[in-house]
Amino acid sequence: MWYDRFLNIYKAGISHEFILYFNIRDVVDNFRFIDRYIYEEFIKQRNFSIVAFYDISKGLTFLEPEMEREFNKITSNAAEGLAYAMPSKLFHYIDVALKSTKMALFIDHAEKMIPSGDVASMSTEERMALIWICEWSNSPKISSVGSTIFLKANNLAEINNEVLRSAYRVEPVFVELPTEQERVGYIQHLLKDESVKMDITINDFAKLSSGLSKKAIKDIKLKSEAEDVPISFEFIKDKKHSVLKKEYGDVLEFIYPELGFDDIGGMERAKNYLLNNIVEPVRKGDLRRVPMGILLCGPSGTGKTLLVNALAKTSGFNCVKIDMSRILGQYVGESEKNFKKCLLGAQSQEPVIVFVDEIDTAFRRGESGDNGVSRNIFNEFLQFTSNTNNRGKVIFIAATNRPDLLDAALKRAGRFDKKIPVLLPEENERAEIFKILIEKYGFETDVEDFFPFSKETLNYTGAEIETVIRKAYEIANEDNIEKNMLTEDVLKKAINRCRPSTQQVEFMTMLAIKECDDKDLLPEKYKDVLDNRGN
């Protein structure tokens, strides 16, 4: 828990100044917000003389009137009338108080006071606030007196990086979203009055609300009451999507797939691997089998994106996609800030599948002329994907046609350490794809055996077989076939008119095979290629 991390740092004497960030507007337990929680669990027990609160809109306020009188006494009443002053005028007096008596200072909306970006572009007020906040962290007088400073921010990436330099001792503390166990306890607390109807169990409610704050969970309950509808899977899903999109929709794409593993043909080796090494271990809490990241390699149209969507549906895990077009901004520091927010948004929904398509173009070390933006984002991505604390919680899956173009640092063990080839479907898989796709679209057919069509579609990708089926439906309509039936003759015509169009299939297939690091994931006919790849 964030509070335990804060307390350990404080007791060890590492720092007396902290940035509390992310889920700071939520209740910590069933009823106390973060300021009150810190006061009752930490400040009250340690006999602080003054507890003060400051932000640039509300000015300087105090917990109790006698604390304000004590502050004025220490500052010789020089600060009277300056409660709403900007940091350049007020922080000098706060500095005096911090060094004179045991004082707890809460600074809210710190990102508005010392925003991210180049220090040279900051206003004079912002630079002065930054200097005071940095210097307080290194003050031995503040440390010896026992004063403590709490800065609060929604997003660490929005705070100026200067305060996080090693020269200063400002410690960031990530305030996480409630765990599943905490959500269960809070939901039980919310529903004890039995004022709403439930179509699901409390445990199911807790599982479905992953990625939400307690405040958002309470909103679901209140909306259920207001709309007089029971809390159900669909109700939670709709409200959750609305909350997450509002919070992170500018930097993340949320995926809500409708098809699971049973709805896609072929790829049995890949599906079995994902079931046995991701879905089941995460459900059981045994994260040792889960790879840090998975790289899907193979030609275009073989179903890499479809496989990820089906994994999300089958597992029930949250799923998001990183789209760099949402990340890159036009102002200095904006792209890096957006990317940090993107990673934080993904992390908040654990267990979550994070999908990166065409990763060979999405993440590169950068070239001269982009002001180091690409390099900064690349390094941030490397650091995040190698964090073992995320194993089984944030599951990175990337897709590429050209694994040879990926930076070696991305492919090393401990990042994308499992490479799964997604290749052209084999004969039996193509027959299965024909059957599943016709059922998916609800087309009528009198064909029972699709193997003859499978033989006629050698080297077709799954996407190209889908094109054949849609063409067959088009032909059935044009020929006025009864019920638009996809007959044997219609399917043959469609195959003759639709030829494979995917470029460099053989080249991309061999790249995927050579990248593979596990024989069990390869068809028999390619296993000898893996044996000989070092020759």
CA distance 532 to 142: 66
- Give the dihedral sign, CA 469/474/475/481: positive
Provide the CATH number for the domain around residue 380.
Answer: 3.40.50.300
Q: How far is CA 260 from CA 2, 23, 264, 378, in A?
A: 36, 32, 7, 32
Please give the full DSSP string across 179-227, using - where no structure is assigned: PHHHHHHHHHHHGGG--S-BSS-HHHHHHHTTT--HHHHHHHHHHHHHH
Q: What pLDDT score was predicted for residue 271?
A: 93
Task: Examine the domain organization and report whether 9 and 140 are in the same domain.
Answer: yes
- How far apart are the two ends of the chain, measured CA to CA in Å? 52
Task: Examine the domain organization and report whether 305 and 378 are in the same domain.
Answer: yes
CA distance 455 to 425: 11
Q: Which is nearest to 128 in space by CA: 80, 103, 155, 95? A: 95
Q: What pLDDT score was predicted for residue 276?
A: 94
Looking at residues 13-24, what average pLDDT do you find?
Answer: 95
Task: Examine the domain organization and report whether 365 and 491 are in the same domain.
Answer: no
pLDDT in tens, 439-498: 988 999 999 999 999 999 988 998 899 999 999 999 999 988 888 889 999 999 999 998
Task: Examine the domain organization and report whether 166 and 19 are in the same domain.
Answer: yes
Provide the CATH number for the domain around residue 72.
Answer: 3.40.50
Q: How many other β-carbons are positioned within 10 Å of the β-carbon of residue 228?
A: 8
For residue 72, give its domain range. Answer: 2-175
Q: Would you give the DSSP letter of residue 421? A: E
Q: Would you give the DSSP letter of residue 178? A: P
Q: Between the ranges 55-59, 92-96, 430-434, where is the mean pLDDT highest?
A: 92-96
CA distance 319 to 311: 9
Residue 141 has pLDDT above 70, yes or no: yes
Residue 367 has pLDDT above 80, yes or no: no
Residue 134 has pLDDT above 90, yes or no: yes
Task: Examine the domain organization and report whether 292 and 410 are in the same domain.
Answer: yes
Residue 429 sits at φ, ψ, to 5 deg, of -70, -35
Q: How many other β-carbons are positioned within 10 Å of the β-carbon of residue 501?
A: 13
Q: What is the overall mean pLDDT for the chain?
A: 90
Q: Would you give the DSSP letter of residue 163? A: G
Residue 432 has pLDDT above 80, yes or no: yes
pLDDT in tens, 373-418: 888 888 888 989 988 888 999 999 999 999 998 888 888 888 888 9
Domains in the chain, number: 4
Does this model's pTM top 0.85?
Answer: no
Q: Answer whether residue 413 is part of any domain.
A: yes
- Listed in sequence order, the residues at least 6 apart from 286 whose beta carbon sits closer than 8 Å to its beta carbon are none
pLDDT in tens, 259-305: 899 888 888 899 999 999 999 999 888 898 899 999 999 998 888 99
Task: Examine the domain organization and report whether 20 and 133 are in the same domain.
Answer: yes
Q: Answer whether residue 528 is part of any domain.
A: no
